[in-house]
Structure 1
């Protein structure tokens, strides 16, 4: 499991609507101290209250357009999701200026690489939040950068004016309602990406899937692909229950259709290593001795999936009745 993180008490000092659905919040230390620094791509976890009264943690990317080791505030932007589990509704409806909330200190699962190669940033909707900070950092470091920002309509795309000022001609905006079609990922690979570029992308799952599919078709090196998911891949209709056997002990666990293998392992007290819970970090990689894997992660290559000897139990499942795990 993850190492314990510092819990910060932060005060909401200002809030504004960037679009009809996206609320920006600026948070400062309740005690007036400088906050822990962070690198572009980092996020904080905010403690929210769900509709049933329970508490949960939600991750929101930090927006910072000026580099500093000791920031005086954190800025996040949260899109209201009417069909979500309730965290974004809490942020939009319940959090008021002056209120103190609990926040986990910044973590970064989506860092910029250390090379000087051109960074190509592709933002889909609210996926712009970590990429805006990356764009600013590239400019500050005099690293070549190009950003594509795609959304359904300009009226729903946050940080547009800031990015236009920051990037000028290095910002390409695609609005579906203006172009009459979604962003063309295939054209990005065919016409714009060049050898040595590092591609960073963040947004809804269809965009992530499309980019990875095009990358595979163009034999784009995985080491030059960097992305972040906001949510775990959704459960698929028809997911069935199955068994997992722990090879070292012979213990057999039942995995229902609505729970992940990782959840079941945790419930059984096996304390597996994991981090993102979205199939993108690779920390929970687990050996498989037998059984047919239903791979749903974003880590393994097609060749590794075909080998069938490793899986990510946070999202992947079994196509048959039983998997035997090398645990």
Structure 2
């Protein structure tokens, strides 16, 4: 690892709900690359040979460290458990980024942030930025119970504590998130941001859009997704390299092309990070990702090679 992209774990705090709050500083001692609210970093985990993405929850004005929160998920594919095992103080990691696919519209008159569980991490950075700008906002934070609500002590002692509303599943119905009550009325200058488990996000997004909120004003970031990778075989032609391959029912475009020496960088493998976006010259795409917007899908000129498929034959610009 080169010092330019090597970071050291400078601090780690075990928070409620089996969540580790981890801070990274550049090994080289160089200036921390700046980031904007909603950004994430990519962390390489050599023990399991995978990249994983984690939203930054630190203040965008912070120049000394990046902070993330990582849930130790027993149902994960190994990423979160590897981070919990390896990210001890003094450990070194290769990081990429920061990158922002979930940017905050700082011009909005009103902003409502809705975080489910560990999905609150980008919302915390957004809340810090909105507070610094003097904006009108509310952060709704949903968890199973008070006992597993990470970041609660920090949020309760923050300067915007009065903007934070907690919703616990084990409390009475009046205390839980009620979208009929808690979503604002639709307006062109009102923006919603949602991140959390897929079921939680689908519920919030569908309700908001059915209530009349413009799709462009309902921002979302999936930190994981249940992806169906199965399907009929189809062909992929690589226009630049001249290679044509058949993608089998249990294969992916990225994996099949890698066997032919054509490498498409893949990180999340779930269609949520956008790393493997590939240009499509022709063919009908069967989108399986959670990254592209509906408008981008309708354009039909790009796909996530880690999970999306084709119907018939696809010609890629690689």
Name the TM-score class by shorter chain: 0.7 to 0.9
Aligned pair partner of 2:50 in 50, 56, 71: 56
Which 5+ residue runs of structure 1 have no aligned equivalent? none
1:129 matches 2:126:
no
Distance verdict in 2 for CA 1:213–1:263, change over 3 Å: farther
Matched residue pairs, number?
Answer: 309
Contact 2:5 2:95 in 1 (8 A): yes
1:211 corresponding residue in structure 2:
204
- CA distance in 2 between partners of 1:176 and 1:279 (Å): 27
2:42 corresponding residue in structure 1:
45
2:308 corresponding residue in structure 1:
316
Contact 1:123 1:201 in 2 (8 A): yes
1:148 corresponding residue in structure 2:
140
| Normalised TM-score (structure 2) | 0.81
Contact 1:285 1:311 in 2 (8 A): yes
Contact 1:7 1:103 in 2 (8 A): no
CA deviation after TM superposition for structure 1 residue 165, in Å: 3.2
Matches within 5 A, 1:76-91: 76-91=68-83
SS in 1 for 2:90: coil
- CA distance in 2 between partners of 1:29 and 1:151 (Å): 33
Report the RMSD for the aligned CA atoms in angstroms.
3.4
- CA distance in 2 between partners of 1:105 and 1:128 (Å): 20
SS in 2 for 1:76: strand
1:240 matches 2:231:
yes
2:170 corresponding residue in structure 1:
177
CA deviation after TM superposition for structure 1 residue 153, in Å: 1.4
| Normalised TM-score (structure 1) | 0.79
SS in 2 for 1:177: coil
Distance verdict in 2 for CA 1:31–1:313, change over 3 Å: closer
Contact 1:288 1:310 in 2 (8 A): yes
Distance verdict in 2 for CA 1:57–1:308, change over 3 Å: closer
Distance verdict in 2 for CA 1:251–1:285, change over 3 Å: closer
Which 5+ residue runs of structure 2 have no aligned equivalent? none
- CA distance in 2 between partners of 1:144 and 1:26 (Å): 29
- CA distance in 1 between partners of 2:289 and 2:108 (Å): 32
